[in-house]
């Protein structure tokens, strides 16, 4: 999936979670956008990879693309670091939700992800799509509709 689909995936997931849990939606969604983009740090051409080229190249060199940063192990490490050093629930939850949304979206693509890294097993849905194609545009539209829906729900709570 492209960066904009992942960013929107983070927004939709963050708003949905804020709606369900009553967590502060702005912090939640902001963290979820970062989480939605973070796993592609393994790819130097990605949005986040271009922002942090050195770290990105290093991770790509060590692990390759869509392996460690697309795994449950990465998710656990991020959750541990956040719980240990940051300790702001909405930030941690937003980041985790965003990363999960990234995994789900990439599992819908042909290459899938190495969810159980260091095991080499590729995980993907039975039906997959091509990145940047028409199907991704449809997914993007669904995510936009979901973002509006949950955004409206969250807003209603505050007015």
Site for Zn ion in 38-77 (CB under 5 A): 39-40
Q: Indicate the helix (H) or strand (E) that contains 155.
A: helix 134-158
Instruction: Tell me which stretch binds Zn ion (CB under 5 A): 24-32, 98-106, 134-142, 144-152.
Output: 98-106
**With respect to Zn ion, which residue has the nearer C-beta, 106 or 136?**
106
* Alpha-carbon span 130 to 134, nearest angstrom: 8
Instruction: Tell me which stretch binds Zn ion (CB under 5 A): 27-35, 73-81, 106-114, 137-145.
Output: 106-114
**With respect to Zn ion, which residue has the nearer C-beta, 23 or 69?**
69
Residue pair 143/6 in contact (Cβ under 8 Å)? The answer is no
Shortest Cβ 67–Zn ion spacing (Å): 10
Secondary structure letter of residue 87 according to DSSP: -
Tally helices (H) and strands (E) across the chain: 7, 0
The encoded tokens of residue 20 equal 């369900």
**With respect to Zn ion, which residue has the nearer C-beta, 18 or 38?**
38
**Binding residues for Zn ion, total number by CB under 5 A:** 3
Selection from 119, 81, 126 nearest residue 99 by Cα: 81
Site string for Zn ion, 2-41 (x = CB under 5 A): -------------------------------------xx-
Question: Is residue 106 a contact point for Zn ion (CB under 5 A)?
Answer: yes
Cβ-based neighbour number of residue 158 at 10 Å: 6
Shortest Cβ 148–Zn ion spacing (Å): 24
Secondary structure letter of residue 114 according to DSSP: -
Residues lying near Zn ion in the complex (CB under 5 A): 39-40, 106
């Amino acid at each position: 999936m492209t960066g904009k689909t992942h960013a929107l995936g983070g927004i939709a997931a963050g708003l949905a979670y804020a709606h369900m849990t009553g967590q502060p939606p702005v912090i939640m969604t902001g963290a979820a956008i970062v989480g939605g983009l973070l796993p592609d740090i393994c790819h130097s051409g990605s949005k986040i990879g271009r922002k942090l080229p050195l770290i990105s190249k290093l991770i790509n060199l060590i692990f390759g693309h869509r392996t460690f940063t697309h795994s449950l192990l990465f998710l656990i490490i991020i959750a541990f670091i956040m719980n240990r050093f940051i300790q702001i629930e909405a930030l941690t939850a937003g980041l985790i939700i965003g990363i999960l949304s990234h995994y789900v979206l990439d599992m819908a693509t042909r290459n899938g992800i190495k969810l159980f890294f260091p095991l080499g097993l590729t995980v993907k849905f039975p039906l997959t799509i091509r990145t940047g194609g028409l199907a991704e545009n449809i997914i993007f539209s669904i995510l936009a509709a979901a973002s509006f829906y949950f955004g409206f729900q969250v807003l209603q709570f505050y007015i």
